[in-house]
Chains A and B, each alone.
Chain A
Amino acid sequence: MALMRSLMLGALVMLALLGSGSLLAEAIEVRSFDNPVTEQRYQDLTATLRCPKCENQAIGDSNSPIAADMRERVYLQLKDGRSDKEIIDYMVERFGDYVLYNPRLEGRTLLLWGLPGALVLVGVVTLVLLIRSRRKSRLQALSQEEQQRLAALMKREVGE
């Protein structure tokens, strides 16, 4: 099991290296945790916090010095027994919302979170209205006048 995991991890690392085309990722330090849950939290946090210096990289896979500093802080605070939220707040306090890959739901980001849902809703409503109006027009019975005209037209066509 453990062997399998480390093999897979190795394969992933190789893939990542091939993908990024850099061997620099090796520079990222190894940290030891006495508890696998904390280790998992460390992995998750370093994957969800965005490096402020980089264009689009998590601090977990960036070699920039600031990302290393941030990993260090995450590590120290985890050891200190701080919660994930406290650690994230600590980073946002210094580096701003930019460090969050998932912006928090607040007044400023309401549009960001709400717009996709709202657009889907508008689409569904439009579709329903469209279908209903079509069905209605198909089912609409002809008025007496229209029926007479139709009969006359058909008669003429047959007569020809």
Chain B
Amino acid sequence: MTRRLLLLLPLLAFLVLAVFLYRGLSINPFERESALMAREFPDFSLSTLADPQRQVDVSLLQGEVTLVNVWGSWCPTCRQEMPQLLALAERGVRLVGVDYKEQGTDTAQQRDKGSAFLRQFGNPFEVNIFDPEGTLGFDLGVYGAPETFLVDAEGVIRYHHTGYITAEDVDKVIMPEVEKWR
């Protein structure tokens, strides 16, 4: 009898393997958890988009749950995301933008591009960190804008959203996450 049961082992092994491989098929390779999850937001020292004289650092993200959105005027999906970000700001979520790697020959031109984008599509951000070289983006492990990080009041990264936030995401994902860490 036990020998008979032993014969079922290959079938069992096959089933286990099949389940694993099937799950592998449904994984979206672009939805990876950030390597910075549950870690402090990386330190930086950059000027703001609006004011080249104003330097900001990581203390900007202390004291309140903040959504940090990495965007750029060169990024078409960032445009699609703007209405959702405006809606989130309207609901009282604090948003900080990172104007990531604007193209241009000098920073003045890069700033112009970023500012023009905000004039055209709206500005839901309390502050925009100006990151022309993408140094902050690199430390955040950003590999394609838009990406959004939820930072809690202690400055720890609690949630990471790759790709643009859809209208559905606002209610189903972003708001619950914001509430969770408030």
A and B physically associate: yes
A29–chain B nearest beta-carbon distance, Å: 16
B141 touches A94 (CB 8 A): yes
A71 to chain B, nearest CB (A): 12
The answer, yes or no, to whether A150 is at the interface (CB within 8 Å) is: no
Nearest residue (CB) in A for B42 is A94
User: In whole angstroms, how far apart are the Cα atoms of A12 and B34 in the complex?
Assistant: 36
* Distance to closest chain A CB from B1 (angstroms): 18
Q: Is the CB of A66 within 8 A of B35?
A: no
Chain A neighbourhood of B101, CB < 8 A: 65
Return the CB mask of B138-153 against A: 1 if under 8 Å, else 0.
1111111000000000
B33: Cβ under 8 A from any A Cβ: yes
Please, which residues of chain A bring their CB within 8 A of the CB of B142? 66
CA distance A52 to B101 in the complex (A): 17
A55 to chain B, nearest CB (A): 7
From DSSP, what is the main secondary structure of chain B's interface residues? loop
B143 touches which of A53, A92, A97 (Cβ 8 Å): A53
- Cα A92 to Cα B34 in complex, Å, equals 11
| Inter-chain residue pair count (beta carbon < 8 A) | 31
Asked if A69 lies at the interface with its beta carbon under 8 angstroms from chain B, I say yes
Q: Judging by beta carbons under 8 Å apart, are A69 and B134 in contact?
A: yes
The answer to whether A66 and B144 have CB atoms under 8 Å apart is: yes
- Known: A52-B143, A53-B143, A53-B144. Contact between A98 and B32, CB under 8 A? yes
User: Do A69 and B29 form a contact, CB below 8 Å, given A94-B36, A96-B34, A96-B35?
Assistant: no
Chain B hits for A101, CB < 8 A: none
Interface residues in A93-149 by Cβ distance below 8 A to B read 93-98
Contacts of B139 in A (CB 8 A): 94
Given the interface pairs A52-B143, A66-B143, the reply to whether A94 lies near B33 with Cβ below 8 Å is no
A-B contact pairs, 11 of them (CB 8 A): A52-B141, A53-B143, A66-B142, A69-B134, A69-B138, A94-B139, A95-B143, A96-B33, A96-B34, A96-B141, A98-B32
Those 10 A-B pairs whose CB atoms lie nearest each other, nearest first: A96-B35, A94-B141, A52-B143, A53-B143, A66-B143, A95-B141, A53-B144, A98-B32, A95-B35, A69-B138
Q: A52-B141, A92-B35 are in contact. List 17 more A-B contacts (CB 8 A).
A: A53-B143, A55-B29, A64-B143, A66-B142, A66-B143, A69-B134, A69-B138, A94-B35, A94-B36, A94-B140, A95-B35, A95-B141, A95-B143, A96-B32, A96-B34, A96-B35, A97-B35
